[in-house]
Every structure is written in structure tokens, then in C-alpha cells.
Structure 1
């Protein structure tokens, strides 16, 4: 792989509109992005989404690796896929205490994603909802204790994985005790390392022991651990704690680098370089085609000035390639799905916990 291809492989990028454009084509064919993320505004109908996916897969066939095609499909209010019977909130799933139910919900999330061409789902949320004033997590969490979140999140993760869909657990080291939405600005949490280890980290450690595919890192500043950088840019948190202390060797992905927590405080180019230096493998750049150019330019400058090495890049690329190979990803086109059977299965399962 060329350096350009390696750097592109480390980016999952957002797309615009409900159909592929020349800008999308350039991003895939010239910038070699390793994956895309779809949001609600990219999705109209199952037919439209499948057409979009098939087009970008076709454009990607000249690249050395198949695309990650990803979506946030958690259930509850974070539901993007069209035509799917609404899946309950994580909190309502957690309140049942039914582990089989949780795993079945995970299977529904994975199958819904797979039927419409997605191979990555940013779920489950493993944040513990310990702060009632939290503006961003709330009922996206399975509960208020580490035990409930660990048990239910683990089963949802396994359910997603069982369908051949990659599960990304989030948001390490824990977004449950914040009072600021990181989409808008940088949350600051004054917890010690010991406090995080004894509470927030428990669900993530459990998921890692159970074979999680990927871990998303939050844009939260923990000044008692790293005074300078939020978790997503912190080598102390990603390399020293997540990788060395907890022993996680899989793929690490940043939360969206176009969120206010980053753009207002660090700048996307500098943040991208720092995230890689800190130990992230994939940079999520969910909005703005121009941001892809800024990220690639910054990474190249980092290699030129010696703050980044190609050896460091190769470490991330290898993890990414191994994950794509594990799930046998490919760029073959898919057919428009019949969702009736899936929706009937969801209805029958939900009826068990009305």
C-alpha cells in the first residue's frame, strides 16, 4: 500500500445527501478513505440507501481494501435505518434484566444493519448513566450500575457480532457522568484514575474480555489523568491505560472529530495527528468533505516533520486490515432487502416485554 492509501484507510468519513456525488467519488477513489458513515439525512428509503451503498462500493473496487460501511443504530432515539420496526431504548432493555432479550435485540440491530449494506454498527453504548443531568447519554445507557451496563451491553454486543456485523462499543473511558454535550463543547470530568477504574471502565473491560471488535474514545477531558488532551487525543488514556493496563489490542476509533469539543479547542488537523500519536487507529470525520483533506494534510506533515512515523501508521493499518479480514468484508453489491420477516421477529420479541 502507498502512504496515501494507508492514511486513507485510517479514516471513516461522512457523506452528503441521499445519493452519491462526485465529491463522494473523489473521497473514495483519490483519498482512499477506509470507510463511510451514514446519518439520518443520508437515508430516505431502504432502496435509496442500498443504491447509495452499492455505488460507493463500486467506486472502491480499485482500492486495496473493502470499505467499512457504518451507521449509528442503537435503538431508541439513535435509530437511522429506514423501514425498521422501532427498537426500544437501551434503558428499557436494561430494566428488563433479561440477557436473552438483550442478545436478541443485538441480533436485530446487526441484521437490520447488514440487510442494508452496513458492516459496522456503533453500538452498544457502555456508558453508565450516573449523572441525571447528562444531556447526551440518558436512556441510551442500559442503566445506572456497572453490573447492569456490563451484562446487558455484553449481550447486545454478542448479538450484533453474531450476524457478521462489527460492533463498536462506546464511549471509553465513560460518558455517563458528563453535564456537557461533546457535540457542542468539551466536557470536563474531575475523576481520578482509580474512580474510573472502579466504575466507568467495568463494562469496557468486560466487553474487551468477551472479544469486542472496536472501542470508540470519547472527547472528554479528565484533568486528573491528562491536563492537556481529552481522552480521544490522550496517549495516557489510550496507550497507557486502554492498551497497556487493560490489555486491549484491537481497533480504536475516535468519536467524530468534527464535534464542537474538538473543533472549538484543538482544530481538526492537529487533533487527527494527536489522536494517531495517542494510539487511535481510525479517525472518524463525520461531516464536511474539506475536513478529509485537512486531516490527510496534517498526517502527512506529521510524518514529514517526524512527529509521526510510518511505523506508527503501519501498526494501525494492520489492525484495520485484520478486522476487515476477520469479518470477510467485501465490496460486492447487495439487493434491496425484504424487511417483513425481520420486523415480524422484532414485534414478537418486543411483545415479551410490553
Structure 2
């Protein structure tokens, strides 16, 4: 059997020149980061300790190659430019230099789809818009065979893009579970929190990761680091490990490490903290009247701990904190993302918005403007969970914002730098998976669950 790198090299040879440049650079990026992992141990043992390249490492790039269907883009550059203008051997910079502006914007979009198999709009988002990732929800998943078939088909739709997809899902345990009935159920964080046992939480993370990995996913929107401090909260509840910061921090970080130990990308959520809201942001915009000083004593503590542990990705919530930013919710706020998360807390990893098609945004802000605002604030990946028209609106808004100078292309490069580094760090690929035999995994889940008190 050919090694993954040889299979990729054979694939590269079959691609057009532009794709070969990108694929070769991305392969170099992956192998260089994996070499770093192997020098310190396997990915399983060291994923959390592989440093992401600094966003500032990206080299300033020349003008991009225009899309054949777009008459308003910048003039074309020489195809030889990537190797000549990157100015160094940084594989991230080489990869970015081989990408068009359209390619780069695509990497910043993580989208939901309709139905249980790829329709023409889904295929266009992947093959033409080159979105960076897909998220599946319960409506997309109908049984084990259907789920695996869908995941494989989505990856196949990405065959013309040398950069693999984030295949993501919300698999938290408890009431937020996307896996079909063939999977053994994992209890909610609240139950695990009552054990006060980080080893149990780490095992939970490992089992959640094994569940999603078996179906071909590579990113899980977990753990929840919100502190359940408001009994009237309609959306968090037992999704949280508990009502105090030390407990949530200890168990949340343990779960995060369990997820990443299996080679799945964990996304901690929902910064700056969704635990003290009394409104569901899926429906309306919550407002929390806390100062930065108050947040730093409770809500921010688990996230600060996750950042110290080199968290792969952080999801930012749609919550208005008027004491920090009276105009924009956290997910669109340069104060909360740029000044606090990236500045004060020093986070240099991937920032992902919560779904921009939730009521908190669509009922209060224009989607296109919100997309531009969140990138200016410091977000890297924009989650658009519903409707092809929304994906197109966001994509066009970002393209226009770069072409008219509202957003510098170097700012886009910073985000793509982080995204590609993360994909390489976890050695993501679009390889299909077989329908798994779940007997061993389900037995392990059941045995572990028996250690959790009711």
C-alpha cells in the first residue's frame, strides 16, 4: 500500500499547474509539521504542543490570479510567482502564494448543507467556491451507512482542491449529539462534571473524538467551556460541566486534550462565555452587562486556560457585552476579539464565529456587513450553517471588501495562514472511510458511562 505522501504526490501529478503548485506547497507544509511532531512523539501524544506559525510569518504576496468568470478582479500575476516571491522556504507562505483571492476567501468559509446527499448547490460550494469546511447537523444524518456515504461524497466533491476540508460536527454528548442510533450515547457534560474527575473528562473527549473520527469527521465543536452560572439560561444548562470556574476549567481542558489526542480538531466554545445569558442566541441577541474585570474573574478563566494549552480553535458567540462594545456582539467586535482575545489573552490560533445565520445576527445586522465586520475584528473562519444564498452573500461581500480596499489582502492571508497551519498540524485529508464496526467503540462508551453517576 502506498504511503499517504506518495498517494498525494501521485494525485498532484494529475492536477492542472495552478493546483499542482498549491498541492505541492501544502504537502510540504503537512510533512514539515508532521516531521516536527515525529521528533517529539506521535500526533496523538503531541498535537497540543506543536506550535502554530505566527500569523505575522506570512510573506506579503503579489496580486492574485483572477477567476475566469470574474471580470472585476485584479490583474493576473505570473504563474511562476509563488516560488519566486515567497522569499523564503516557509511552506505556509508558499501555499498562500499559489492561491487566488477566491481560493483564500473559500478557506475562510465553513458551511452547512441541505439534505442527506450533496445537491448541485453543495457541490458548487465545494468544487467552485472551494469552501474550507462543512458542518453536518442532525437533519443531514440518517443512519450510519448514510452518514458515512455523505461524508465520503462531500470529500469526493473536493477532489479538485488540494487543500482538504474541515469535516465538522457538534458532538458534545447529552442532548447535543449528532451521531445516529448505531452509536452508544455519551452523557452530558453536567453529569461528568459531578464526578469532578479530569481523567473521566479526558476519556469522554477521547470517546467523542473516536465517534466522529469513525465516520470521517476531523473537527468537533467541543468542549463547551461556558460556566452555567444563570439558572434561567435556556441554551447551556447541562451542556456545561458546572457552575464554577475551577471545575469547568479542569474538566474542559481535560476533554479538549482527550479530543485532540485522537487527532480530531477540538473547538472550544462559546467565548466570551454563554453561561450567564437568559436568551437563546439561535433566536435573539443576548445581552450581558458585565465589565471586562467581571468577565476575567469567571467566564474567561476556562478560555484563558485553553489558550495556555495551545487550543486549536475558539468559537466566538453572538452576545452583546455593552460594557465592552455597545454596538457589536462579541462575534463582530474588534474590542472583544482583537483587543481581548488576540491582544490581552495572546491567542494566535484559529477563531471561528458561531453560525452567522442565527437569529442573533440576522434579526439585528446585515449578513454581508457582519461578515466583513467579523474579519476586521479578527475572525478566521465564518460559520454559515444555512442556505446556499447566504454562503454566496458572505463570499461576495468578502471578495468585494478586499477589492475595494476595506480589508487588506494581507489580513486575509493572516487567516489563511492560521487555517492551513491547523489543517497541516492535524494531517487532515479527504481520504474516504469505510463504514465502521462500532462494537469495540460502543463497548468502551458503555463501560465508561457506567462510571458516571446519574
Superposition deviation, residue 2 in structure 1:
0.6
Per the alignment, residue 129 of structure 1 pairs with 228
Alpha-carbon distance in 2 for matches of 1:183, 1:353? 30
Match of 2:430 among 327, 331, 336: 331
Matches within 5 A, 1:115-154: 115-154=214-253
1:287 corresponds to 2:349: no
Greater mean deviation of Cα atoms: 71-80 or 42-51 = 42-51
Per the alignment, residue 276 of structure 1 pairs with 375
Question: Are the equivalent residues in 1 in contact too, given 2:167–2:216 (CA < 8 A)?
Answer: yes
Superposition deviation, residue 304 in structure 1:
2.4
Secondary structure of residue in 2 paired with 1:129: coil
Per the alignment, residue 20 of structure 2 pairs with none
Superposition deviation, residue 302 in structure 1:
1.2
Per the alignment, residue 128 of structure 2 pairs with 30
Gap regions ≥5 residues in structure 1 = none
Alpha-carbon distance in 2 for matches of 1:198, 1:307? 36
Secondary structure of residue in 2 paired with 1:344: helix
Per the alignment, residue 40 of structure 1 pairs with 138
Deviations 1:103-131 (A, max 9, x none): 10100000001000110000000000000
Per the alignment, residue 151 of structure 2 pairs with 53
Superposition deviation, residue 45 in structure 1:
1.2
Alpha-carbon distance in 1 for matches of 2:179, 2:298? 33
TM-score (norm 1): 0.99
Secondary structure of residue in 1 paired with 2:307: helix
Matches within 5 A, 1:343-354: 343-354=442-453
1:205 corresponds to 2:296: no
Question: Are the equivalent residues in 1 in contact too, given 2:168–2:217 (CA < 8 A)?
Answer: yes
1:228 corresponds to 2:327: yes
1:16 corresponds to 2:121: no
Per the alignment, residue 81 of structure 2 pairs with none
Matches within 5 A, 1:299-310: 299-310=398-409
Number of matched residues?
354
Superposition deviation, residue 305 in structure 1:
2.4
Structure whose alpha-carbon radius of gyration is higher:
2
Deviations 1:131-182 (A, max 9, x none): 0000100110000000010001011101000010000000000000001100
1:79 corresponds to 2:177: yes
Per the alignment, residue 185 of structure 1 pairs with 284
Question: Are the equivalent residues in 1 in contact too, given 2:191–2:452 (CA < 8 A)?
Answer: no
Per the alignment, residue 172 of structure 1 pairs with 271
Deviations 1:190-220 (A, max 9, x none): 0001000111000001111112110000000
Alpha-carbon distance in 2 for matches of 1:133, 1:163? 35
Secondary structure of residue in 2 paired with 1:96: coil
Greater mean deviation of Cα atoms: 299-308 or 150-159 = 299-308
Where does structure 1 differ by over 4 angstroms across 4 or more consecutive aligned residues?
none
Aligned-residue CA RMSD in angstroms? 0.7
Secondary structure of residue in 2 paired with 1:215: strand
Deviations 1:12-66 (A, max 9, x none): 0001111111111111011110000000000011111111111111111211310
Gap regions ≥5 residues in structure 2 = 1-98
Superposition deviation, residue 233 in structure 1:
0.3
